[in-house]
Every structure is written in structure tokens, then in C-alpha cells.
Structure 1
Amino acid sequence: MDLYCTRPGCPRPVNAFADLDHQVTLKAVPQKYCTTCGMELILIGRYLPLRLLGQGGFGAAFLARDRYTPAMRQCVVKQFLPSGQLSPAQLVVAQQLFEREAEVLEQLGNTHPLIPDLFAFFELTASSPQAGKQDKFFYLVQEYIDGETMEEELVQKGTLSTDDVVAMLKEMLNVLTFVHENGSIHRDIKPSNIMRHRNGRFYLLDFGAVKQAAKGTATAKSTGIYSLGFAPPEQMSGGEVYPSSDLYALAITCLMLLTGKQPNDLFDSYSNTWKWRNDAPSVPDSLADVFDRMLLQTPSQRFQSAADVLVALKAASGTVRSQPSKRTPLPTPQPTPTPPTTLPQPVSPPQALQPTHKKATPQVAVQAAKPVRQRAAIAPFSTVELLGAAAFTGFEGGLLAIALLSLSGTVLIGAGFWVVLLAGLVFLQSRRIIERLDLLIVVGLTLPIILFLPPLHRAVALLGGSVLTTVIAIAVVTGLSAIAVTAFFRIIFNLLSNWL
């Protein structure tokens, strides 16, 4: 089984452990460590990260398994680690967004079937690659939704049928009714935050930007967190947001799916109106009227609740006809809308955090931090890597011994140089300066040089035999001896570790 290191900037995050392919070991092993940076891989001894799903300015999301469940349930582990360029105030806002998502998932997700459940929220302290320091990481674990976002479907199909869009719209209106009635406003509705499960149901994702509000009233002023192209005017200006603000963004999402065009291509800035009907001629006028009302510039003129839209859709249902889905791909598909922006200062936002299925989380606008290449002072080795390193050290040590004994005048001088070179090889491997393919390259360079040493030819001639055969035979014997000695001490170490 491969485990993925969650330390940001780890140069080799994929770790292969053959022993974890056995269920007994997988359930019982207390911990595994990254062979490159030494980071704990089994989070709080329970969650096994398998691969990276996405990352952005606030951290990363990983597909994982919960080994404390009978079927090793799949889940999504989201890690909070904002850019190092955040100011103290921005860092506070960023962490509040992360904690807010956990709170909302616990409150709403564990109650509504179409919002991901929260499984865990925890802090992990790990040894830092810098000696004497420790790093703190924050994680939330949520339900894994097996499907595709509407953004991904749009890229594949070009456009969606009217029936598909109406089905999605109705499902989302029911979810928003629940969200709004529980005193929350999502504030980041868009195709990448709506997912169609393989069973056909639609899920609403990404609750990091949720704003708490008193029922039936507006929220306090917006913090300026929104996604360009989908946010209504009141949200973009940093004003109050309403349930109708979510309806505005949901309508734009529908138009994007029906027309295959980005929001900025459907908005006429000259007249300050949405002009999309010519791009979706198959949409009945009664349904188009519903969308147009959801898109009015003034919040009070839109539908005031998701339930009101459902009533309007029911009245329009007689004229909504089934339309075939167009399969032509978009000429220039753009999977991700323009990232979230923060007012009032126009700075470059980081790439959105991609949790369970490449979805974007609204965030404070700040330049994303570049990954930092880090190394631990001592990186643990798996058993396979340890024995492989021993084989190389023994083989290469044999070659070096032959060369030094052939060139040096005395055994003592040759042995001294041999010990120094061998210690250097071990040190370089322990620091992972040379590993894997590097080991073969070193052997490939050393062997031809040794074969052309004149003293070696004279010595082998006295014994009788082939130079190549003799050299390789000696190196193989030393390599096997190194493996045997290493395996012996590894067994002793494991026995003592279990006993102590």
C-alpha cells in the first residue's frame, strides 16, 4: 500500500509499504513515517492518506481511508496550512474559515443527506525538519462523495440538457431551503461546488464561506469573500448578503450549464443585464422567466426564498420539455472560474483549495506560497529500502576494496581509505543525497574504472581467471554479506522494540 505524506513541500510524498498490503498488519501497525521527511503518515493513528486530491493557498485535500471501520471507509482529509505570506489578520480569517467549515459540516452535514458529513476535526503536532522545532497542522475529515462536479461534467459534455439542469436546480433549492432555515447562507454556489453522485443525487459542497444569519434577515456586512462571475452585486461590494444572494449564484450556475459559456460571456456590462436566452434557445420562456427573476440586480426584487423558486418551477413545469444533452466539447474549456477575490484591495488570490473533488474554497486573497523543499535530519527507511541500501553498500564496498588493495602499497593504508569511503557512502544514503537510480549510476561508473586497473589485471593473472568474473563475484559476496548482517540487526532491533 502507498501512503501519501501530508507535510507541505515534502519532495517525495509517496511512500510504499509492502507490509500494509496485509490486513492484519494494516489494522495493527501503530505508525508509519515518511521515508523522506519523517512525517507521521497515519493521522492520529487512524486515517491513511492515499493520494492528493488538490491543494491551494489554504492547504490541501487528500483521499484517505479510515482503518478503524470494518470496510476501511473512504473519506477526505482536508489540511489547513495557509500561505506564509498571510498577514496576522489574514491568518486569523483563514483559520476561521477552516474552523467554520468544520462547524457547519457538523451542524448541517450530519443532518442533511445531501451535505457531506463531518467525521473528525483535530490538531496534529509533528517534529519539524528543523532540529528542535515542531510543526502544528490542523485537519478535518469529511465524507467522500463518489462522483463528478457539475464543472467536470460541463467540460466533458459541452452543455447539459434542460432536464438535467432542472433536476439539479430542484435538488439544490431543497438543500438551500434547509441551509437558510437553519440560519446560514452558503455564499459560494458555483458548478465546482455541486457534485452529482454516481447514484444520481446532487450534493452541495464547500461550506468554508458560510455566513451565519438570523432567520429571515440579512447577515452582517460581507467580509468580501466571493467567486467572481457568480457573486451578486451586494456581495461583491462587501454589503449585506441574503438568501436571495445564493439564488442569484445558483441561477448563474444553471445558465453556465445550459449554454456552456462562462458568466462574463453572458453578462452585458453596457446595459447591466444578463443576456443569455439566445445561447439557450431550447429553454422554455416560463423557465427562462424564473432564471431572470433570480438574476435581478436588487435583492428585494428576486425570489426571497428557495421555496418560492420551487413554487415558480412547479408552475412552469408544464412547459419544460426534455432536451437532449449536447456532447460537443467547449472550444476553450475553463474548468475553474476566476478564483475568489477580496475587496477592497485587488491582490492576486491563491488557487482555491480543492477538497473532495477539485472544488474551490473561498479564501482571503493573497499570493499562494510556493512549496518549500524540506528534509528531515534523520529520515526513517522502510525494510525494503534498508536492505537495498545494504546491498548497494556491500557491492560498492567490495569494488572499492579491490581497487584500493590493488593501488595501495600496504593493506593498512588501503583499509583506512576503504573505511573512509564506505562511511561517506553510508552518510550520503542516510541523507538521501544518493538513492534509487543514483545507486545504479554509482556502481555503473565504478565497475568499468576498476576493470581497467593494471595492478588488478596482474593480480588476477597470477590467480588465473577472468578479471570481470572475479571482480563481480567478490562484489556480490560482499553485497550478500551486507544484506545478511543488516537483516540480522534489523530483526534484533524489532524484537527489542516490541519487548521494550
Structure 2
Amino acid sequence: MDLYCTRPGCPRPVNAFADLDHPATLKTVPQKYCTTCGMELILVGRYLPLKLLGQGGFGAAFLARDRYTPAMRQCVVKQFLPSGNLSPAQLEVAQQLFEREAEVLEQLGNTHPLIPDLFAFFELTPPSTQSGKQDKFFYLVQEYIDGETMEEELVQKGTLSPDDVTLMLKEVLEILTFVHDHGSIHRDIKPSNIMRHRNGRFYLLDFGAVKQATKGAAVAKSTGIYSLGFAPPEQMSGGEVYPSSDLYALAVTGLMLLTGKQPNELFDSYSNTWKWRSYASGVKRSLADALDRMLLPTPSQRFQSAAEVLTALAQSSSPGRVRSPVTPKQAPPPVPSSPTALPQPLPQQQPVSLPIASTPASSQSLKPARQRAAIAPFSTLELLGAAAFTGFEGGLLAIALMSLLGTSIVSGGFWIVLLAGLVFLQSRRTIERVDLLITAGITLAIVLFVSPLHRLAVYFASLFGGNVLLTVVAIAVATSLGAIAVTALFRIIFNLLSNFL
């Protein structure tokens, strides 16, 4: 198993431990340490970081597993990691925001099924890489949502249909009704903070910028944290924010999904209006009118609650599927106490403006899907599986090229180029998992049934006195095993050198 070091700036954060592939060792080993910087890898002896999901203004997010649950439950570990140029007052405010996110997740996430649960919140003080000093890191652990954000869907599809956008709006509005009724304002609605689970439900993520408010009233002045293009005028100016401020940001998100364009492409600063209808087709008038009202520059002119928007959207076309009712969550069992006590709720202080225009990194999606996957480290099993596929394809491609071009330098060059292309596509995760099996099956069928290639397969079979299919598969399997052996050898050498360098 590979564990990912959470110390910021660790030059080689991926650590391979063969003994952790055994369940008994994985459950009982007291601790593992980064072979490069010495950082504790098993957080509070429980959470196993597997890979970096992304990094933002205030922190980093890691995919992890909880080794003290029967099924090794997946979770997201968020680490408080402010930029280094903040003043002490700004750093204090940033830390308050991170702690506030944990408090809000505990209050709201453990009650509403479409807000991630909070599993743990703790502090670690490992020895610093500088002799005689200690570092201090804050972590929160929350529910892992298996799906894609609206930002990732937009990258893949270009735009979403009006029915799909309406469905998203309705579910997020129901969540916001719950959030606002419990005295909070999210303040950072945008495509990367709305995730569609594989089961079709929409989740609202990233409560790091949330503000507490009295129901129906405004809150204290903004801290200056917002997402450009999505925040309403009152938030960008540092003024008071309202429930209708969330509705404005949600409407901008809807426009972006309907048109595939960035907010600055749709907002006409000369007339101070949003001009988007010409870029979207098939939008019902009730939906368009609701979005336009949510986008009015003055908070009092907008809908005053998410429930009012839901009433307006009830006139729009039905998305065409029945949604199961949302039921409250049962509170999860308490997490065993960690060495560090949980912090007490912070007293309300005067906010300080921070010189940034974005919120902490979203818990699960900080980059588009393809970009995020490209930087994700490969586990040992994934690496060997990729080697097996490349070797299998290499054997089949060798047969095919020898049939068409003979045993020449040209055929050898084509073989190397094709294999390099396969390796590149796998490194970018363009093809993975089921894609590998499908590709191998198609290549095998081509070699067996395309006439010029089939002749060489028959020739090989005659040499070995066997069946054509079995002979071709045997050659491909042999090259596959060779590739696995070479990859495993280089992996072992790399791990040995990593321990000494």
C-alpha cells in the first residue's frame, strides 16, 4: 500500500509499504513514517492518506481510508494550510474559518443527508524538518462523496440540459433552505462546490466560508473571502451578506452550466446586467425568469428565501424522474479520542479582510477531473496492472506489425511509438480499469480475424504445433509477464534507493 505524506512541501510524498498490503499488519501497525521527511503518515493512528485530491488557498485535501472501520471506509482529510504571506491577524482569521467549517459540518452535515458528515477534527504537532522545532497542523476528516462536481461535468459535457440544471437547482435550494433555517449562510456557491453523487443526488460541499446569522437577518460584514464572478455585489464590497446572497451565486452557477461560459463572459458591466439568454436554448420561461430575479444587484429585489425560488421553479418542466424523499441522518458513532483535545467553539471576533479572492480548497474537487487524475500517484497494484496490459498489447502489436511490415527497423520503430502512446495514455489516466480490458480484447480480435494478421498467427501456431488462439494468447501473456517482472524489479530498486537518498 502507498501512503501519502501530508507535510507541505515534502519532495517525495508517496511512500510504499509492502507489509501494509496484509490486512493483519494494516490494522495493527502502530505508525508509519515518511521515508523522506519523517512525518507521521497514519494520522492520529487511524486515517491512511492515499493521494492528494487538490490544494487551495487555505488547505489541501487528501483521499484517505479509516482503518478502524470494517470496510476501510473512504474519507476526505482536509489539512489547514494557509499561504505564507498572511499577517498574524489574517492567519488567525483563516484558522477560525477552518475551525468554523468543522463546527458547521458537525452541526449540519451529521443531520442533513446531502451535506458531508464530519468524522473527526484534530491537531498534530510533528517535529519540524528544522532541528529543534515543531510544526503545527490542523485536520478535519469528512465523508467522501463518490461522484463528480458540476465543474468536472461541465469540462466533460460543455453544457448541461435545462432539465438537468433545474434538477440541480431544486436539490441545492432544498439544502440551502435547511442551511438558512439553521442560521447559516454558505457564501461560496459555485460549480466546484456542488457534487453529483453516482446515485444522482446533489451534495453541497465546502463550508469553510460559512457565516452564522440570525434567521432572516443579515450577518456581520464579509471577511473579504469570495469567488470572483459568483459572489454578489454586497459580498464583493465587504458589506453584509444575506440568504439571497447564496441565491445570487447559485444563479450564476446555473447560467454557467446552461451556457458553458464563464461568468465574466455573461455579465455586461456597462449596463450592470446579466446577458445570457441568447447563449442557452430550450430554457423554460419560468426557469429563466427565476434566474434573472436571483441575479438582481440589490439583495432586497431578489427572492428572499430558497423556498420562494422552489415555488417559482415548480412551474418549470419536470426533470422526468421521481426523487426519493430526503430523510435525516442518524448521528455516526463517536470517534475514539485522539491525543489532542478538540478545540472549543471560538468567540465571535471582528472579522479581518484577507487579501485573497477564493475560499479554502473544495474538499473533493479542486481541479477538473482529467487534471486531478493526471497528478494522482499510482498504487503498486495499478502499476503492475498497467505493466501487464502494456506487455500484453506489446505482444499483439508485435505480431500485427510483423505481419504488415516484416521484421524491419520501421516495424520496430512503429512498435516503440505505439507502446509509448499506450504508456502515456495510462499515465494521464485516459484509459484505465475496464478500458484496458476492452482495448486488449479488441486488439486480440483484430490479430485473430483480420486476414493479413491472421496469417502470421497461423504461422506461429504451426511452429509451436498448437491452436492459433492459444498460441497468440500465449505470446501476449508471455510478454505481459515479462513486463510485470521488469516493472516490479524497477519498483523495488526505486523503493530501496528512496530509503537511502
TM-score band, normalised by shorter chain: 0.5 to 0.7
Summarize deviations over 1:291-314 as a string: whole Å, max 9, x none.
111111111111110000111111
Match of 1:356 among 364, 388, 407: 364
**Match of 2:44?**
44
Alpha carbons 2:56, 2:360 under 8 Å: kept: yes
Deviation at 1:353, TM superposition (A): 2.2
Q: Distance in 2 between matches of 1:344 and 1:270?
A: 31
Alpha carbons 2:33, 2:40 under 8 Å: kept: yes
**Match of 2:162?**
162
**Match of 2:219?**
219
Q: What secondary structure sits across from 1:315 in the alignment?
A: coil
Q: Which runs of 5+ in 1 are unaligned?
A: 323-342, 361-500
**Match of 1:202?**
202
Summarize deviations over 1:215-260 as a string: whole Å, max 9, x none.
1111111122111101111111111111111001101100100000
**Match of 1:267?**
267
Summarize deviations over 1:117-176 as a string: whole Å, max 9, x none.
000000111111222221111100000001100000001000000111000000000000
Assess, with a 3 A threshold, how the Cα gap between structure 1 residues 344 and 118 changes in structure 2: closer, same or farther.
closer
Count of aligned positions = 339
Q: What secondary structure sits across from 1:90 in the alignment?
A: helix
**Match of 2:32?**
32
**Match of 1:229?**
229
1:52-451 correspondence to structure 2 within 5 Å:
52-317=52-317, 353-358=361-366
Deviation at 1:351, TM superposition (A): 8.9
Q: Distance in 1 between matches of 2:289 and 2:133?
A: 61
Alpha carbons 1:53, 1:354 under 8 Å: kept: no
- Percent identity over paired residues: 82
Q: Distance in 2 between matches of 1:344 and 1:215?
A: 24
Deviation at 1:346, TM superposition (A): 9.7
Q: Letter of the aligned partner of 1:78 in structure 2?
A: K
Alpha carbons 2:176, 2:306 under 8 Å: kept: yes
Q: Letter of the aligned partner of 1:170 in structure 2?
A: K
Alpha carbons 2:225, 2:358 under 8 Å: kept: no
Deviation at 1:83, TM superposition (A): 2.1
**Match of 2:10?**
10
Deviation at 1:46, TM superposition (A): 0.3
Q: Letter of the aligned partner of 2:102 in structure 1?
A: A
Q: Letter of the aligned partner of 1:356 in structure 2?
A: Q
Assess, with a 3 A threshold, how the Cα gap between structure 1 residues 220 and 359 changes in structure 2: closer, same or farther.
farther
Deviation at 1:321, TM superposition (A): 9.4
Q: What secondary structure sits across from 1:54 in the alignment?
A: strand
Alpha carbons 2:117, 2:143 under 8 Å: kept: yes
Q: What secondary structure sits across from 2:125 in the alignment?
A: strand
Alpha carbons 2:187, 2:246 under 8 Å: kept: yes
Q: Letter of the aligned partner of 1:62 in structure 2?
A: F
Q: Letter of the aligned partner of 1:309 in structure 2?
A: V
Assess, with a 3 A threshold, how the Cα gap between structure 1 residues 97 and 344 changes in structure 2: closer, same or farther.
closer
Q: Distance in 2 between matches of 1:60 and 1:120?
A: 16
Deviation at 1:56, TM superposition (A): 2.6
Q: Distance in 1 between matches of 2:174 and 2:31?
A: 43
Alpha carbons 2:205, 2:362 under 8 Å: kept: no
Q: Distance in 2 between matches of 1:354 and 1:20?
A: 29
Q: Letter of the aligned partner of 2:219 in structure 1?
A: T
Deviation at 1:54, TM superposition (A): 0.7
Assess, with a 3 A threshold, how the Cα gap between structure 1 residues 350 and 282 changes in structure 2: closer, same or farther.
closer
Q: Letter of the aligned partner of 1:132 in structure 2?
A: G
Q: Letter of the aligned partner of 1:4 in structure 2?
A: Y
Assess, with a 3 A threshold, how the Cα gap between structure 1 residues 18 and 346 changes in structure 2: closer, same or farther.
closer
Q: Distance in 1 between matches of 2:88 and 2:353?
A: 16
Q: Distance in 2 between matches of 1:48 and 1:227?
A: 31
Q: Letter of the aligned partner of 1:358 in structure 2?
A: L
Q: Distance in 2 between matches of 1:344 and 1:284?
A: 43
Assess, with a 3 A threshold, how the Cα gap between structure 1 residues 80 and 301 changes in structure 2: closer, same or farther.
same
Alpha carbons 2:245, 2:299 under 8 Å: kept: yes
Alpha carbons 1:193, 1:359 under 8 Å: kept: no
Alpha carbons 1:126, 1:136 under 8 Å: kept: yes
Alpha carbons 2:225, 2:359 under 8 Å: kept: no
Q: Which deviates further from its counterpart, 10-19 or 80-89?
A: 80-89
Runs (4+) of structure 1 moved beyond 3 Å? Answer: 343-352
Q: What secondary structure sits across from 2:235 in the alignment?
A: helix
Q: Distance in 2 between matches of 1:245 and 1:262?
A: 19
Structure 2 length normalisation: TM-score?
A: 0.65
Q: Letter of the aligned partner of 1:209 in structure 2?
A: A
